A and B are shown apart, each in its own frame.
Chain A
Amino acid sequence: MNDVAIKATNLVKKFGDFVAVDHLSFEVNKGEIFGFLGPNGAGKTTTIRMLCTLSSPTEGSATVAGFDIAHQGNRVREHIGLVSEKMIMYDRLTAHENLRLFGELYDIPRDALRERIDELLQVVNMEKWADHQIGTFSTGMKQRINVIRALLNEPEILFLDEPTLGLDPQSTNEIRDFARSINDDAGTTIILTTHAMAEADMLCDRISIVDYGKIVALDTPSNLKKVITGADTNVIELNVPNITQTLVSDIQSLSCTQTVTVEDETHIRVHASGDEACDNVIDTVRSGAGQIRSIHNVEPTLEDVFLYLTGHKVREQVADKVTTKEPSSRHGASVRSRIR
């Protein structure tokens, strides 16, 4: 119990009839970077809000930093920091004033607070901007302040809700490095939600893949990827100059094929199982009068893992042509299949 930072038991959150979080149970160990990976609407933010005591669960319970979220709310809040999707700052106050305002909510003695603010501003290279109004900052700068605001009380657990969403590449990298360094130096447990696979892959010790309010898989990134290879599935990248619907359905109809995804005008990604999967696919393309510019048997990414486990892509919005068969066997995780 002492090594567990968060323990959630059957958390449920309903908004009217809509079930946003569907009986989530998991444990987060102290000092680990734990990720929630999933599409928009999967219930990630709702779960975070419950753990931060901003929202009360419809059913279920959880302890954060050893305190019950329903009955020991104030104690929970003393030990957490929240970097939410929204900027928690007042535009008309300066960076310093904002930090002081929020810092004072935590009963930090004035001198210690001032030191801490200066220290944190330096770490994110914002000391020169301490006395400028936040409203004048760029998004990247605001996010840096947003992040250090959450660290004022030296929390045991830091919640990062889509911290790099909408940021320029430089700020994105900085935030990611920063997160890693907090974890390395101070041993802060970090809960990260994201729908950027690469981010989860590079930062997290363990990832839980969530879809429609349920945890579809929970493991280390490498173990998750082995789910695909372990099930003897290959991920094949094809570069085909002209992709036609016929071609796609031809590949689809192969018995070895699990999913076919058209990435863009010239790239197809196929999940297929079996030793002859590659050959079969090549033959099919050739016979369909298609040329193959290149073909790779690639390492599965988390995107592939997600697709494999849930039967759909993370970003459904764009008209990615995904054709799938009913999932046959799944390795270890339970999946709800859905008709889209």
Chain B
Amino acid sequence: MGLVMLILMPLFMMGMVGYIFPSNSGMSHVPVALANLDAAQGNTSLSTQFVAQLEALNNKTGMMDFSTVGSAADVKSNIQNGQQSAGIIIGSNFTSNLQTGKQADVTIVNDQSNPQTASLIQTELTQVIQQMGTQTATYGLNQTYKTPLNYSLAQVAPYNVQTTGIVPGQTNYFEFVAPGIMGMVVMMSLMTGLPHAISFEREVGTLDGMLAAPVHRMSILGGKVIAQTTRGMMQGIIVLMLSIVLFGVVVQGSIALILGILLLGVFSLVGLGILITSFTSTEETATMIMMTLTFPMMFLSGVFFPISQMPQFMQVIAQFLPLTYAISALRQVVVLGVGVQAISRDIFILFGFGIVLLSAALLAFERAMKR
């Protein structure tokens, strides 16, 4: 049973997280309401052309499903009752404005109850419509002034913006979240394992059996640390494998470096775990305290959301959590494929945390065992 949970847990976490949060490449068939309120309708109507162009572009990606509605009020009510996730309203002056040398109004209506989707749709639509605008203008110049198309384009949109990443391929949210989950799983494994290894055994009496034997205290502690580290690393590796095999995460950097960072992460946290478990008398209390600490750590360390998106005071707190640095380093290695040099600061900090916490823990353990 324990073995099954060992594998199921990371799988579950990855699945839950990965599939719940939306990513750009994942959006498709989002229902959008389209209200064409243009005064001019029919073949000569510029709004009809606009809509046709929009639908043609959309057919290539299949990102949205347009449904025509009659009025702005309809758009609003459809979004309210959840039928649609966004709306496009073509203003009544669309054709007339364009024909008299003014900008035509297009309004994008957002579903504010779902800010993430709303923001993605908004960005996408705005981009598409602006591209359409550039195309129209370029074509218009070409028709009116008989200038070649690429010259027209350069007039209309002088700046050609290209975006490129450091490594090939599109990134998905999984790649962002997988290193985070790896770090989190390893940490949780440690934090649930140590209470069992120390507090439970103390409660039940087997720790006494060890302590009453001619074995050095440090050996006993060392044994438990190695056992829990191994357990944590195993779960971390499972997450890594699942990410690659099931969720399409491409690891750009070296696997050895990833394992090294995980190990360093364990090293940095194990001291804290020992400190807590040495002083609690029951496994239940110890696990409770651990949970209270690890839960906020999960969110504050950037497992699910980037730290830069958090309010200032939370960012400050994040600086004091070893997990933050481990995850940041893991991300850089997994997604960007960096080497040791680039993450040397994180490594150094993790090491520091480890030394300090472990030293305190060793002293605490000695003291606690003699009570």
Q: For chain A residues 93-146, which have a beta carbon within 8 Å of chain B?
A: 102, 105-107
Indicate if A284 sits at the interface (CB-CB under 8 A).
no
Which of A23-31, A81-89, A209-217, A332-340 is found at the contact surface with chain B?
A81-89
- Give the segment of A48-56, A225-233, A234-242, A265-273 that binds chain B: A48-56
Q: Which residues of B contact A84 (CB under 8 A)?
A: 205, 208
Q: Closest chain A residue to B371 by CB distance?
A: A55
The CA-CA distance from A331 to B369 in the complex, in Å, is: 41
Do A107 and B205 contact each other (CB < 8 Å), given the known contacts A55-B371, A56-B370? no
Find A102's partner among B204, B205, B213, B369 (CB 8 Å cutoff): B213
Q: Which chain B residue has the least Cβ–Cβ distance from A80?
A: B212
Cβ contact within 8 Å between B208 and A77 = no
Q: Are A86 and B214 in contact (CB under 8 A)?
A: no
Q: In whole Å, how far is B87's beta carbon from the nearest beta carbon of chain A?
A: 61
Residues of chain B within 8 A (CB-CB) of A206 are: none
Cα–Cα, bound, A89→B206 (Å): 6
Cross-chain contact of A54 among B212, B214, B215, B216 (Cβ < 8 A): B212
**Interface secondary structure of A, over-half rule:** loop
Q: How far is the CA of A53 from the CA of B210 in the complex (A)?
A: 12
**How far, in whole Å, are A74 and B212 apart by their CA atoms in the complex?**
9
Q: A55-B371, A56-B370 are in contact. Are A74 and B216 (CB under 8 A)?
A: yes
Task: State A80–B209 Cα separation when bound (angstroms).
Answer: 12
B209 lies within 8 A of A102 (CB): yes
Question: Which of A15, A53, A90 contacts B212, CB < 8 Å?
Answer: A53
The answer to the question of B211 belonging to the interface, with a C-beta cut-off of 8 Å to chain A, is yes
Determine whether A201 belongs to the interface, using a CB cutoff of 8 Å to chain B: no
Residue ID in chain B nearest A75 by CB atoms = B214
| Docked complex Cα distance between A54 and B205 (Å) | 11
The A130-175 residues at the B interface (CB cut-off 8 A) are 149
Write out the residue numbers on chain B whose beta carbons fall within 8 Å of the beta carbon of A105.
Answer: 210, 213-215
In the bound complex, residues from chain A placing their C-beta under 8 Å from that of B371 are 15, 55
**B217 to chain A: closest residue by CB:** A73
A297–B210 alpha-carbon span in the complex (Å) = 50
Closest residue on chain A to residue B216 by CB atoms = A74
- Selected contact of B205 from candidates A53, A55, A88, CB within 8 Å: A88
- Asked if A78 is at the interface of the complex by the 8 Å CB criterion, the answer is yes
| Bound-state Cα–Cα, A236 to B209, Å | 46
Q: Return the contact of A86 from the options B208, B210, B215 (Cβ within 8 A).
A: B208
Total interface residues in chain A, CB < 8 Å: 24
A10 to B370, CA, bound (A): 18
Distance between Cα atoms of A52 and B205 in the complex (Å): 14
- Whether B214 contacts A107 by the Cβ 8 Å rule is yes
A85 to B206, CA, bound (A): 11
> Which residues does chain B contribute within 8 Å of A55, judged by CB atoms?
370-371
CA distance A75 to B213 in the complex (A): 10
Distance in angstroms from B188 CB to nearest chain A CB is 22
Q: State A194–B206 Cα separation when bound (angstroms).
A: 21
Q: How far is the CB of B221 from chain A (nearest CB, A)?
A: 14
B213 engages A54 (CB within 8 Å) = no
B residues near A77, Cβ cutoff 8 Å: 212-215
CA distance in complex: A48, B221 (Å): 23
Is the beta-carbon distance between A88 and B209 smaller than 8 angstroms? yes
Contact digits for B230-248, partner A, Cβ 8 Å, 1 yes 0 no:
0000000000000000000
Residues from chain A with Cβ under 8 Å of B204 in the complex:
86-87
Residues on B with beta carbons closer than 8 Å to the beta carbon of A74: 214, 216
Nearest B residue to A101 by beta-carbon distance? B209
B206 touches A88 (CB 8 A): yes
Decide if B206 touches A106 in the complex (CB within 8 Å).
Answer: no
Which of A55, A56, A75, A86 has the most C-beta atoms of chain B within 10 angstroms of its own C-beta?
A86
Q: How distant is the Cα of A87 from the Cα of B208 in the complex, in angstroms?
A: 10
Shortest Cβ gap from A198 to chain B (Å): 26
Question: When each residue 182-225 of chain B gets 1 if its CB lies under 8 Å from chain A and 0 otherwise, what string results?
Answer: 00000000000000000000001110111111111000000000
Residues in A with CB closer than 8 Å to B208 are 54, 82, 84, 86, 88
Q: Which residues of A contact B215 (CB under 8 A)?
A: 77, 105
Shortest A16–chain B CB gap in Å is: 11
Interface positions of B from 294 to 315, Cβ below 8 Å from A: none
Which one of B206, B208, B212, B215 has the highest number of Cβ atoms from chain A below 10 Å of its Cβ? Answer: B212
A85 vs B204: C-alpha distance when bound (angstroms): 10
CB neighbours of A107 from chain B (8 A): 214
Complex: how many Å from CA A89 to CA B371?
21
Q: A36-80, CB under 8 A of B: which get 1 and which 0?
A: 000000000000000011111000000000000000001101101
Given the complex, which residues of B lie within 8 Å of A102, measured CB to CB? 209, 213
Report the bound CA distance from A85 to B208 in whole Å. Answer: 11
Q: Which residue of B lies closest to A85 (CB)?
A: B205
**Complex Cα gap A77–B209 (Å):** 11
A155 to chain B, nearest CB (A): 10
A selection of 29 A-B contacts at a CB cut-off of 8 Å is A53-B211, A53-B212, A54-B211, A54-B212, A54-B369, A55-B370, A55-B371, A56-B370, A77-B212, A77-B214, A77-B215, A78-B214, A80-B212, A82-B209, A84-B205, A84-B208, A85-B205, A86-B204, A86-B205, A86-B208, A88-B205, A88-B208, A89-B209, A90-B206, A102-B209, A102-B213, A105-B213, A105-B215, A149-B209
Q: A55-B370, A78-B214 are in contact. List 8 more A-B contacts (CB 8 A).
A: A54-B208, A54-B369, A56-B370, A77-B212, A87-B204, A88-B205, A88-B208, A105-B215
**10 A-B pairs closest in CB distance:** A86-B205, A88-B209, A105-B213, A56-B370, A77-B214, A78-B214, A74-B214, A82-B212, A88-B205, A52-B212
